[in-house]
Each structure stands twice: as structure tokens, then as C-alpha cells.
Chains A and B, each alone.
Chain A
Amino acid sequence: MTDKVVVAPTPHAAHEVHHEELGFWRKYVFSTDHKVIGIQYAVTGLLFLLFGFSLMMLMRWQLAYPGVPLPLIGALFGEARMPGGTMLPEFYNELGAMHGTIMVFLGVVPLAVGGFGNFVLPLQIGAPDMAFPKINMVSYWCLFLGGITMLGSFFIPGGAAQSGWTSYTPLADIAGTGQTFWLIGMIFLITSSLLGALNFITTTIQLRAKGLTFMRFPFFCWAQFVTAFLLLLAFPPLEAAGVMQLMDRVAGTSFFLPSGLVVSGQALTNAGGGNPLLWQHLFWFLAHPEVYVLILPGMGIVAEIIANNTRKPLWGYRSMVYSLVFLGFMSFIVWAHHMFMTGMGTTMAAFFQTTTMIISIPSVVILTALIISLWGGSIRFNTPMLFAVAFLPMFGIGGLTGLPLGLNIADIPLHDTYYVIAHFHYVVAPGTIFALMAGIYYWYPKATGRKMNETLGKIHFVGSLICMNVIFMPMFIIGLAGVSRRLFDAGTAYEFAQPTMHWNAVSSWGAWTLALFQLPFIFNFFWSLRKGETVGENPWQATTIEWSAPSPPPHGNFLGTPEAYRGPYEYSVPGAAKDFIPQYEA
């Protein structure tokens, strides 16, 4: 009898056992690998961003030249939407509702959380994959189904939803069939986000590399971690609300329909007893934390890139982390500042405007820390850094212009004007989207093994920065003049709107030029896959763990078992041989 000695495999070697070659469908389509899923999310998000942007460009034609037939392509949209190329108000509403929905729920969130979160987070914490790879796959396919449902609604009789991205009741309850599709689509999207959030939280806590304490987390990990909690806790009320609104529409319930509702002079025959304001509360209970879901991953990306390209540790890292957590908590108790106009009492208004003023403090702390981090740095102005640096003033403008909207007395005249559009677009367009662009240029080498072209990247950046401001700065002027954001003809019928009409044309030309400046990015994205400069595992001389993996990382991510020995931003350490000490090097 021979004694057999069984050697327990190391964690990574154990993983190697499962490295069987997968077929095309399991490897690239129904993949459980976080990197493939991350890329699926990112590409889906980018495509939806492009689609949502296209909807907006159509709207901008109507706003710049109300009633003028859209040349060349206008007639393609059919008599029911654009007879003779002239946009009908219903189509404008369709475009408006779907632009908002697609950009938020199918563009930015999938890219910021699904894309960057999936691809970068496990690598950054030294994990071989997500904690629940199959749930991760289901999460993506729920998003995909939600996206298909939303897109499909454009082709049903009556078209897509027209009740705004907020789907306020009772309007949404009695709107056309497109609204039903919107609700079904949202249920898929919310389910996707909830599954993703569970996975992110579990992965972050359970699969951290040895030595990677919470205070050694890169700021991006913290941002994704807090974001996951926001999604997990804020989305269920909207999912419940979505089901309730769906029941109102298809099953005859009256959750959001009051008694005695008269529409177009005709009394509705619903049971009544519901409350339209309940929808607003449930919607904004999600949608305000959602604002932070849109911005926190962006802050995380910008923090990584600023530390890397200033060759300095982040200034006030701990303050930033505490601010982030506090911000996440506070984001749950500010939602009703979107509802000052609903006639809430002064006590409630006072509460919500106080919490809103308080929540600005952690945002300012983070932004200030990032700005101070630039001070004295040996800054490398590569493309990711340019986008990251531009994020700071753009988000700053967006954030600071939000303060008047958080105060009851100032919100009343500004509510629902173009000022609001300008404010939140500065936060999410030249704000978040710049951060996401920075992230794409920064982690593209990790995903593909090649760098994107710098010249094309800089053309993309300069054009985008100028155009974003040309688009959104005039909206502050239009909004301060009191022009409503809902007018399909930009206010043609109103005397007070006349002095601002020309600004719409300026804004629209900015938008169309912005589209042109995305062409270098699109070309660069595909061209660099084959022709980009080949890079090693750490092209940016960065410190965090993802840069210890090969580029692109193999299945299982790391060649060895990564370990964290220090904090995430050990740049320019006095006396060190080089200007960075990776946290994964002993």
C-alpha cells in the first residue's frame, strides 16, 4: 500500500483547475467572467449613450428651429411623428422621455457601474471574479432585456413613453401603451441593478486580497461600494412603484389615481382613492440617490486618474472616504427637494432644504480634496487626465448651481425651467460622462493590452469640453428667463421667451458639433484595438492592484495571488527608488 500525500492547492492553483476552454457562446455571450460582462455592460452603455444622444439631437433641431422641417432625414420618421419633416409635439415628448430614461438607466448607469464596476472592481481588490458569477451574467441579461423592451416601444402603435423620464402620475397612468413598455423595461433594469448591487457588495467584502483593508481601498472601490448600497436600498421602492403603476394601467387598480379624476372633460371610471403624490415620493426616493449613483463612480474614476497623473497621494483620502459614506447616507433623506412645488408644508420643506444644504458639504469636501491633490503635482496631461481635470470645474458648476434649487424659495421660480436642465446636465454630462471617458482612456490598456491614440484623444477632449459648455451654459440664461423645460417649441408662443430663442440655436449647434467630436473617439476606440500602442501590465506606472494583472487579464485575472502591502496611492515617496510603489509589491 502506497501512502498518497494530498497537497491542498493554493487558491489560485485551485482556480486553474477550471480553466477549460469555453465555446464562443459561453465565452463571449453568456459569459460569467466579470471582465467580459464588464465589457458587455460598457459597450451596451456606450451604444445607448449614442442612441440617447441621437434622440436629443433631434430634439435640438426642433428647439433651435421650431416647426421647420428637418432636412434630409425628417421625413424618415413618418407622418405620425414628423409629417413633412416637421416634428409633432407628441414625438418631441417621446424623444424627451426616452432621452432621459435611456441616458440615465441604459447609458450612464450600465457604463459607470456595470462596465467599470464589473471590469475594474474585482481586479482592483485582487479578486479572481465576482462572488456570484452567474448572478452577474443574469444581471447583464436583465439589462439587455430592459433595453430591448425600451427600444421596442418605439415601434408599437402610439410610440414609446411620453410622460417624461419621471413618469409622473396620473399622466403616466392614462398615457399610451408605450408607458406600459416603459414600466416593464424599468422592472428589468431595476432587477438588473439589484442583482449587480448584491454582487458588488458581497465581492467587495468577501473577495478582497489579503492585506487589502478598507482604508487601503482605492477610492474607486469605495465609490463603487457605496454606489452598490445606494442601488440596493433605493431601487426596491421604485420597483414596487413601477409594479403598482403597471397594475393601475393594466389591472384597474388606483394606487396613483385619485377619486373624481376628470381627463379632457370626461370623468374616469377608475376606483379612485389613490394618490399621485405617492408616485413622486417613491420615484424620487430612488431618483435622488440615483443622482449619486451617476456621479460617485465618476468621482472614483477621477480620483484614480488624478492620483496617478499628479504622481501624488490623494489629498485627504480619509476625509474623502468619510464624505463618501456620509454622502451616501444623506442621499436617502433629500428626495423631496424635487417636490417643493407640490405644496408641501413649510416644516417639511425646511427639513428637506436643510438636508440638501448638508449633503452639499461632503460633495464639496471630495471636490476640494481632488482640486488640492493637483497642487504641487508633477502633472502628466495625458488624455485620461485631461478629462479627469475637466471633470472638476464641470461638476463644480453643476453642483453649485444645484444649491438654489435645494432652497424652497429659490426653487419656486426656477423649478421646471431650463435652469434645472443646465444644472443636472453639468453634473452628468460634462461631469459624469467626462469621468467615464477618462476611465475608458485609462483602463482601455488593461482591457485590450493597447493604448488609445493620444492625439485623437486630445482632439476628442478639446472639442467635447468646448461643445459641452456651448450646449449647457445658454440653458442657464434661458432658464433664468423663466422658460419651461417642457415646451416642444422652446417657447415660441410666449412673449417672455422671445429674447432667449436664439440661445437655443447656439445650444443646438453645440450639440451637433459635439457629435462630430465623438467621431475621433469612436474611430480611436476600434482602431486602437488592432493598431494601438502595445503596453505591458502597468502602462501608467500606477499603484493599485489591477495593474499587477497581465493586460488583458486572463480568466482568473492574476498570475499569482495578489496581496496588498500598503495604501493605494504611494506616489513620490521620499527616498524611494522610483516615483511609485505599487500596493501589491512587498
Chain B
Amino acid sequence: MTREPSMRGTRNRLWLAVVLVAVSVWPRVAVAASSITGTVMFDGKVPALKPLAMDAEPVCHKKHGGKPAANEALVLGTGNSMGNIMVWVSKGLPAGKTYPVPQTPVVINQDGCEYKPHVMGIMVGQAYRILNSDGILHNIHTLPKLNPSFNRGQPATVKEMSTSFPKPEGMFQVKCDVHPWMSAYVGVFTHPFFSVTSADGKFTISGLDPGTYEITAWHERLGTKTASITVGANETKTQGFKFAVPAAK
């Protein structure tokens, strides 16, 4: 009998706390649900890229059925949608705001003497896991301007290595010094608002606050395109990009 008022008081305080937390978090949850999506298309006549001959590396040559592999510099889907395009928020994020770094690593695999994926984004400090599925000697050589270069051989028996990038940096190349045709590209960001298109050309950047943003689309040979876009709370806006081979001067 004497404990009942005390238990009621505790219950009330608990509810009050739940309500306060809900009230304080709700607007944030609500506003961080905006997205930008779109499709990247190739415009104009599709150039014929030279396929990658891997005769010099019998293991990889065999993995590709003894035929040259498709050149990954231009990956087109139905209707000339473009794969391997990195799209990211380049301006408009609140200054000074930090974003948690994912615990899961970004994985790059050397498979059939190709980097898979070919284009990838990673956050500053996030683990970058380098796999060697080929069972032959590879060499992973990053060519950043701002970050320390990582240049290390990966012998057949070393299946996995790991590194990370301490500074944000736009797209830079990763190459293999053993197999000169091997190439990949990495962008290092302070935020998670980036997306790489698959062959259908589609990208989605979600979890944004309402606001006006500049987004950039990048292709390894055709350069960058930017667009400004405003999203409201819980809104999904669409922004497409088109890349074309510049006209010869």
C-alpha cells in the first residue's frame, strides 16, 4: 500500500522521458528522410572501346573464357543508361555536421584481373578491404592527391588486405602495376550521400535533410556534371544526368 504512489510516480516519469525523447528525435527523423534519385544516360553515338586482352595472364584469360574482357570504362544498359557513374552531394550539407562512419568495410575484389566494383565511394576512416580472388600476384596501387598512396603487392596466397583513407578526396584511380589494364576509381567522402549507378543508370541518395544541394555526377573519362536541387521534408526529387562524348575540336 505504501509503495503504490511511488510506483505510479516512477511510471509517470518513464512516460515523460519517452515523450520527451520522441518529441526531440521526431523532427530529426522526419526531416532526414528526403531523397534524390535519378538516372544517368549516355547521349550520342556510342564509341567502340577496345576490349581488354588478358593473354598475358593465363589465369584471368581463362576466367574470361579465353576471350578479351569488356572494357569497363563505358558500361551501358538498356536505352544507353550508364553504369559506373559516381553521384554525390558536393555542396549544401550543413557545415560542421559529422556523420557516423559505417562499421562495415567497403570491399574491392580482384577477380578475373578486374576490380569489382569498378567505381566505389567510401567514407573517411572507413575500412577498405582488398580481396584477391584470382590467386595470382596483384599489386594494388592507389593514386590519390591528398591521401597517402597505398602501393602494395598482394601475392597469390595473401587473400585479403585492408587500409583506409584519412582525408576526403574526389575520385582517384586505383591500379595494378602487374596488370596494366586493371583500373578502378574511389571517392572518399565525409558523408554517406553518394551512390554509384549500376548498368540501369539509376542512383539514389537518401537520408538527406530538407534543403538545397548541389549534386555531382562523375564519369572516369567524360568528366563531371552538376545540378542544383531542392528537397523538402520526406520528399524524393528526381534529377537525371546525360553524358556525351565531347565533339572533336
Contact = CB atoms under 8 A, between A and B. Distances in A.
B152 A88 contact: yes
Interface string A50-76: 000000000000000011110000000
Interface in A66-93: 66-69, 79-80, 83-84, 86-90
B173 A265 contact: yes
Interface string B139-160: 1010100000001111111101
A90 B136 CA distance: 16
A2 interface: no
B245 interface: no
Interface of A: 66-69, 79-80, 83-84, 86-90, 264-266, 488-489, 493
B156 A67 contact: yes
B153 A67 contact: no
B141 A67 contact: no
B157 A69 contact: yes
B173 A83 contact: no
Contacts of A79: 161-162
B43 to A, nearest CB: 28
A84 B158 contact: yes
Name which of B141, B155, B175 has the most chain A CB atoms within 10 A of its CB.
B155
B157 A265 contact: no
B134 interface: no
A88 B137 contact: no
A128 B177 CA distance: 60
Given A90-B152, A264-B175, A493 B137 contact: yes
A531 to B, nearest CB: 48
Contact of B153 (A84, A88, A264): A88
Given A88-B152, A264-B177, A83 B161 contact: yes
A80 B153 CA distance: 10
Do most interface residues of chain A lie in helix, strand or loop, or is the interface mixed?
loop
B194 to A, nearest CB: 24
B173 A88 contact: no
Contacts of B161: 79, 83
Contacts of A89: 137, 139, 152-153, 155
Given A83-B161, A493-B137, A265 B143 contact: yes
Given A83-B161, A489-B137, A493-B137, A265 B175 contact: yes
19 contacts: A67-B156, A67-B158, A68-B157, A69-B157, A80-B152, A83-B158, A83-B160, A84-B158, A86-B157, A86-B158, A88-B158, A89-B155, A90-B151, A90-B153, A264-B177, A265-B143, A265-B173, A266-B143, A488-B153
Given A265-B175, A488-B153, 12 more contacts: A67-B157, A67-B158, A83-B158, A86-B158, A88-B154, A89-B139, A89-B152, A89-B153, A264-B141, A264-B177, A265-B143, A493-B137
Contacts of A84: 157-158
A69 to B, nearest CB: 7
A488 B156 CA distance: 12
A67 B136 CA distance: 10
Contacts of B143: 264-266
Contacts of A69: 157
A126 to B, nearest CB: 57
- State the 3 A-B residue pairs at the shortest beta-carbon distance, nearest first: A89-B153, A67-B157, A67-B155
Contacts of B157: 67-69, 84, 86
